[in-house]
Structure 1
Amino acid sequence: MRLILVVLSAVLVSSCISNKRINYLQNLKGNEPIALGEFIPYAEVDYEYVLQPYDIVDIDFASSNEELLRAFNYQGAAAGRGGGSGGAGGGAMDIFYFSGYSLDKDGFVRMPVLGQLKLSGLTEEMARNKVQEAISIYFKEDVEVRLRIGGIRYTTLGEFNSVGPKIILKNRATIFDAISMAGESNILARKNELFLIRQYDGGTRIHQINLNDRQLLASPFYFIQPNDILYLQPMQIRQIGSGENFSASLQLGISIITAMMFIYGISSGIF
């Protein structure tokens, strides 16, 4: 009987998950506490996103010479931009895939009349200025260029309710926007060990993010960037059962004890 109680207690203790491992944005011990209502300035990041091969950009023009302007747009591109929403899962609503301009493997975009322009390695503003300079040659009057990234594409892996490619049709989104679009992360996820795989010009880095830590709001990883990959690892508790709530843990414990009693009964000749 004592053995059974010990086993049951061990199962319940190991299967229950503390709220400290689940709750987002806590004031963790050792960090400067952030009070509710306190103003948190964004992190001063010395890195500005630059366009990369296979990015998609939305480029549009405005001028009083509408007849000439039509020569610089693919037929149907403007119509393809209509509609849309603030975000979309997967690629089903990736409107800019059809209406935007994709950078090729060498970082070039091909545009009507203007031909090939290399935009990789440039910020949005630098790329806009480059297109502006190229198209201004053909206009006597002013022409205005608008260039922006065609949404934020990222990928979720691991302990999310929905994994795979995602797109947020905004030019800025937080890491919690990305998580909520993928579905609330699984309760068995290691929220203190979110791996963020981020592409930089010429390479990739892996960063470890703690979603339990309120200091995340002031970190350079609070906002996601195009082509980010978010990977959540499972807790070790998955190895012995789901343990997502007390009833599941209790049911697991009862199953183990029943099996032990059955084996004991057979070995002692009771059955």
Structure 2
Amino acid sequence: MVLYLSYIYIGIGMRKVALFAVLAIFLMSCSETKRVTYLQKVESLPVEVLQQKSLLADPRIVPGDLLSISVGSDSPESVSIFNKLSSSSGTTENAMTSSSVSDNSTYLVDNKGIIDFPIIGKLNVGGMTRTEAEEFIKSKIYPQYVKKEPTVTIRVENFKIAVLGEVKAPSIYNVPNERVSVLEAVAMAGDLQLTGRRDNVLLIRFKGDGSKEVARINLNDPNLLFSPYFYLQQNDILYVEPNKSKARTAYTVPPMLTLSLSILSTLLGITNIIVTLTR
């Protein structure tokens, strides 16, 4: 009789455990939904907050950049010596009147931030913003070499970012228009895996002076829209860490623990069968 009551007690305890397990799974699923949603409750932000402009930083020139530099003027022939010519260009006149710059008309920024510019020679543009470099080159050309103030246009031809970790397509991505937000970068990488942490994305940024900056980004936070890290800069690296569930699956269970759990599961199964048969 005592043994029978013990079996019943064990059976009731197992049912309670199962009930608690189901409840825990339900609560965990609700919690996971909150963790995977981007910009949570962004619609609740006040209108005046949403109307604020996000900070879009002008790209800073760093070693390794490939710069396309075009010098224009009302008198194209006067600035022709400052423009590299493509071997595929039809004529010098056509090349000078075109506002576009060929792919091979680029200047490599060396490790000291220096480029070798026609006629003028070595120019240190490392650490400057694109706008600052345009004004700097213009000041070297006008009025020393030309009578009319020219226009100088610089583009970073190899503007790229890297997205690594728990994303569907980790890779290095080129950004032709030199403008990309962190959400656009996530989309380019095929979105985050469910096993990726959205609240603690690591950003590594390489500055023009060679130093580095590290920041953490919370993709769940609606205030991300106004963060100085919302727009990425060239050579930025995003790393998405695995969440706890992914970390647990990566853990190798020792053989002895596996055997112990197997024995325990078998004993619980036998106990449940005995309780059922003795009813």
- In the superposition, the TM-score normalised over structure 1's length comes to 0.70
Once the two structures are superposed, the pairs formed by residues 210-229 of structure 1 within 5 Å of their partners are 210-229=218-237
Match of 1:176 in 2: 183
Unaligned 5+ segments in structure 1 are 80-94, 243-255
Match of 1:21 in 2: 35
Q: Distance in 1 between matches of 2:88 and 2:69?
A: 10
Q: How far did 1:127 drift?
A: 0.7
Give per-residue Cα distances to partners, 1:60-86, cap 9 Å, x unaligned: 12124434544323331896xxxxxxx
Residue type matched to 2:64 in 1?
Y
Match of 1:62 in 2: 72
Instruction: Say which SS state the counterpart of residue 192 (structure 1) adopts.
Output: coil
Unaligned 5+ segments in structure 2 are 1-10, 90-100, 251-257, 271-279
**Closer/same/farther in 2, CA of residues 121 and 183 from structure 1, 3 Å limit:** same
Answer yes or no: is the 8 Å Cα contact 1:51–1:120 preserved in 2: yes
Q: Distance in 1 between matches of 2:66 and 2:102?
A: 7
**Closer/same/farther in 2, CA of residues 75 and 201 from structure 1, 3 Å limit:** closer
Q: How far did 1:215 drift?
A: 0.9
Instruction: Say which SS state the counterpart of residue 128 (structure 1) adopts.
Output: helix
Q: How far did 1:110 drift?
A: 1.5
Match of 1:106 in 2: 112
Match of 1:130 in 2: 136
**Closer/same/farther in 2, CA of residues 98 and 176 from structure 1, 3 Å limit:** farther
Q: Distance in 2 between matches of 1:40 and 1:188?
A: 34
Residue type matched to 2:52 in 1?
P
Q: How far did 1:214 drift?
A: 0.4
Q: Which of 133, 146, 151 is the equivalent residue of 1:144?
A: 151
Give per-residue Cα distances to partners, 1:153-172, cap 9 Å, x unaligned: 21111011222221211233
Match of 2:83 in 1: 73
Q: Are 2:57 and 1:50 aligned?
A: no
Moved more, 231-240 or 207-216: 231-240
Residue type matched to 2:266 in 1?
Y
Answer yes or no: is the 8 Å Cα contact 1:56–1:97 preserved in 2: no
Q: Distance in 2 between matches of 1:10 and 1:39?
A: 39
Match of 2:6 in 1: none
Give per-residue Cα distances to partners, 1:174-210, cap 9 Å, x unaligned: 2112111122111211000011112234311211110
Q: Answer with 1 or 2: which has the greater Rg.
A: 2
Q: How far did 1:97 drift?
A: 7.2
Answer yes or no: is the 8 Å Cα contact 1:77–1:99 preserved in 2: no
Once the two structures are superposed, the pairs formed by residues 214-253 of structure 1 within 5 Å of their partners are 214-240=222-248
Match of 1:41 in 2: 52
Measured on the aligned residues, the alpha-carbon RMSD in Å equals: 3.8
Percent identity for Structure 1 against Structure 2: 24
Q: Distance in 1 between matches of 2:32 and 2:87?
A: 52
Instruction: Say which SS state the counterpart of residue 155 (structure 1) adopts.
Output: strand
Answer yes or no: is the 8 Å Cα contact 2:168–2:191 preserved in 1: yes
Match of 1:246 in 2: none
Q: Distance in 1 between matches of 2:150 and 2:85?
A: 19
- In the superposition, the TM-score normalised over structure 2's length comes to 0.68
Match of 2:205 in 1: 198
Q: Are 2:271 and 1:264 aligned?
A: no
Q: How far did 1:96 drift?
A: 8.5
Moved more, 228-237 or 198-207: 198-207
**Closer/same/farther in 2, CA of residues 213 and 263 from structure 1, 3 Å limit:** closer
Q: How far did 1:107 drift?
A: 0.2
**Closer/same/farther in 2, CA of residues 77 and 116 from structure 1, 3 Å limit:** farther
* Highest RCO, 1 vs 2 (Cα 8 Å, sep ≥ 6): 1
**Closer/same/farther in 2, CA of residues 228 and 97 from structure 1, 3 Å limit:** farther
